[in-house]
Structures are given as structure tokens and as C-alpha cells.
Chains A and B, each alone.
Chain A
Amino acid sequence: MKIRISEHDEFLLNRLLDGDLDAGQEAALRRRLQGEPDLKAAFDRLVRLDAALKACRVRRPELDQAAFHERLMQAVAAEPVPAVRTFRIRSTWWALVPLAAAAAIALVVWTRVPGDGDSLRSPPLARGPEPSAPAAAVPAGDERPAGMLAVRFVRPWQGAEAGPAAGEIKVRFVRSQELAERVRARDAAELAAPANFLYIAGVNRDGDLSRALLEAAAL
């Protein structure tokens, strides 16, 4: 028997069978089933297929669960305790820092509205880690740049004195507890208003994924 219904109707019938239609959709489709012989025949055939499949449930696998379990536990007994995986970037990945840096995203913390005090500062878009938190695990005193990063920035408030609304700065990786202050001071000195903090997630020289403080090298 050739039954012709659209794919959409066929899908609707499947949803009806699976109880996926809401009450209104189901009522409408059942009304159509009353008046459309092909639709009705298609649904009957679908129900028969479903019943035939469900009848397969009675064919259960033959399983001696006790023997299965015993065999499994014997195999497990011969295995070492599974190792817990720890996430650590291999030190060789350090060479990939420039690539990682290129993909990193700078977070603009806040911008001060010119001419007003702290009470009128615009709300933070996102907050980076506090400057006082531990910096990347580079030995103290070692200020060698670890890599150059290109960091994009945006300013949430745009005014005549605010400087460019978006741009890119070059930064270099260093360990510096004072970095945030340096960035703020540099910004304040060079531009009248904005005091944008840029933080970036980075990879330190030991290979740990960690936040790293950045020093603006050029604007």
C-alpha cells in the first residue's frame, strides 16, 4: 500500500507516538487523523513498527551475572589503582607562550568618567584578579621578558579625552606586583581620563596555567 504524506507530517506522527506534542498540537493532529486516510494509515504503520521493536525487549541477553562479575573483578585485581589525572601544562609548552598570548583576551576592568570623582566611575565590565594576589611563578628578581603579547582593549566609556575606544597594545610578560599601579600611572600620565586595567590569563615559565600580570610596553 503506497502511502503519501509529507516529511513534516511524518515527523509530526513520530512526535505524537513519542508523546512529544503539546495538548493543542496533539488534538489538532488527531483531528486530522480522523479525516485523512493516508495520514491515518501512516500512523498505524508507525505504531506497528514501534510495537514490533518493543517486542524485541523480551529477547534479553543470556548473562550469568555472577560469573561475569567474578571474571571482571579478577581482571581488576590484576590492575594497578587508576592514576588520578592532574592538569599541568608541560614545561615544553612554554615555547608556545607567544601563540597562547595571541589568543588571550584582555579584560577591561573599569573606566573613570572624566571630571568626576570616584563616585561617578562607570561600573566594572569585568574584574580581573587583584594586583596583590600572587603573580606568576617566576623567580623573584627575574624580570626577563618571557614573551611579547598583543592585547586588544576596549573602553566602555568613550569621550573626547578618553583616548581610542579600542586598539591594541604590546605587552611583555614579567613578574611584577606593582604592575597594576604602573599601568594606572602610565595611563593617567599620558591621557587625561581613562584608567584602564588590563589583565590577561597567561602561562608562566614553569608551565602552570595561571594569571600573569602584564606590563604595557607600548600603546
Chain B
Amino acid sequence: MSGPDRPGFTEGTAQRDAAWVQATLAGDKAAFGKLAQAYERQAVATAYRLLGNSHDAAEVAQDAFLRAYRSLGRLKDPRRFGAWLLRIVSNLSLNARRSRRTGPTLTLDEQWGTDGATGSDGQAISGTLGPDRRVEGEEFAGVIQAALERLPDKQRLALVLFTIEGWPQKDIAELLQCSLENVKWHVFQARRRLREMLGDELEEA
């Protein structure tokens, strides 16, 4: 793990985090400030990948840090603060997504301008892009984001964190509290579904 927004739960960071957690529990709020600085970008980036916009991501990350602070005394292994925090971020992001579903959401059809059109059989268009609707660059990234939104939670988390955020699979397993093999399976299934959703868009130009 090398990027600043990616987790690196090394022995060094584990010991550092444990010391900061203990100091925080002893009343040193500045120590929690150090923990926050170490994980702010990761927390916001993770929430952003799951929520799709910066504002919501920052809100969720703030909430996650506060909850982590309040619950710090219940953290069983202070060395695992980072994974624990990001698990809170992920859970809050998923909750935010679920509550957001009651309101208007950006669907694939909206992204692609089909406006809820139906196919010749009268069924709603499944969301497969036609070759003539090929989009480029940022717009295509938006299409990917919209497709990701339609994946089941665990599949989306596993794929986003592994492929986009570059997390090691073992850290994702810890986050999702499942086995490494389960992570691989979630990633596999997520790619399958994305491929089906994106259809011809993925064919070579």
C-alpha cells in the first residue's frame, strides 16, 4: 500500500495507533487529533467511493470519527484502530445509502438519458448501454459509478476497496468480517454483474 488514501495496517502503524488510542483514553484529546489526521483522507475517500459525492462523504466521515471517539473504550485491540474506523465509515456509508434510497437517486437510465424508456418487449430497459451511447472520460466514470451503485453492498464494497482504492484483500476481509475467499468471490460476482450492466460498452472500440 503506498498511496496516502489507502490503508496500510503495518506493524508500525499498529503500534503508533495503539499508543494514540491509549493516550486518548487517558484524556489526551490531541492524541485523537493525531489519529484523525492519519485516517481522515482514507475515511473520506472510502465514504466517497460508497456514496458518490464529496459532501456526503465528508459528513459520514465526521460522524464516523465522532462515533469512534465515543466508543474508543470498547475497541478491543487498539492496534486495529484503522480497520475499526474504516469499518464504521463503511457501515455508516451503507446506512446513508439505504436512507438515501427513499429519495431520488441517480439511476443508470438517468445517466444515459433513457428516461425510463422500455424496450420493444415493453420491459424496462435493463441498463445495458448500446454502442451508440458510448461515453468517454469523466462521463464514463460517472457511468461506472452509477453501475457500482446497483451492486449489492458487499460486492460493491469488496470491488471498490480492492480495485479502485487498492486495499489488500486481507484488510477487506477484516472490514467485511468474512474470509479472504469470500472477498475474492464478492469481487468476482461484482465484476460479473458490472460486465452484464455495462454490456457492449466494454467491447473494444
Task: Mark A residues whose CB is within 8 Å of B.
Answer: 1, 10-11, 14-15, 18, 20, 44-46, 48-50, 52-63, 65, 68-69, 71-73, 75-77, 79, 81-85
Contacts and interface: CB of A to CB of B under 8 A. Distances in A.
B72 A82 contact: yes
Contacts of B163: 50, 53-54
26 contacts: A10-B188, A10-B192, A14-B188, A14-B191, A18-B184, A45-B195, A49-B198, A52-B144, A53-B144, A53-B164, A55-B141, A56-B141, A58-B141, A61-B48, A63-B41, A63-B44, A68-B40, A68-B62, A69-B40, A72-B66, A76-B33, A79-B66, A81-B25, A82-B25, A84-B25, A85-B73
Nearest to A62: B54
Interface of B: 5, 24-25, 27, 29, 32-33, 36-37, 40-41, 44-45, 47-48, 54, 57-58, 61-62, 65-66, 69-74, 138, 140-141, 144-145, 159, 163-166, 184, 187-188, 191-192, 194-195, 198, 200, 202-204
Counting chain A CB atoms within 10 Å of each CB, which of B62, B191, B192 scores highest?
A: B191
A115 to B, nearest CB: 51
A196 to B, nearest CB: 36
B27 to A, nearest CB: 5
A68 to B, nearest CB: 6
Contacts of B25: 81-82, 84
Contacts of B5: 60
B40 A59 contact: no
B188 A69 contact: no
Chain B interface main SS type: helix
B61 A68 contact: yes
A161 to B, nearest CB: 49
Given A73-B33, A82-B72, A61 B44 contact: yes
Given A49-B195, A69-B37, A18 B187 contact: yes
A85 to B, nearest CB: 5
Contact of B159 (A20, A44, A53, A57): A53
A46 B198 CA distance: 12
Given A54-B164, A56-B164, A57-B164, A76 B66 contact: yes
Contacts of B204: 44, 48
Contacts of A73: 29, 33, 36
A61 B57 contact: yes
B192 A63 contact: no
A49 B148 CA distance: 12
A71 B62 CA distance: 8
Given A50-B163, A68-B62, A81-B27, 9 more contacts: A45-B202, A52-B141, A53-B163, A59-B141, A60-B45, A72-B36, A72-B62, A79-B70, A84-B25
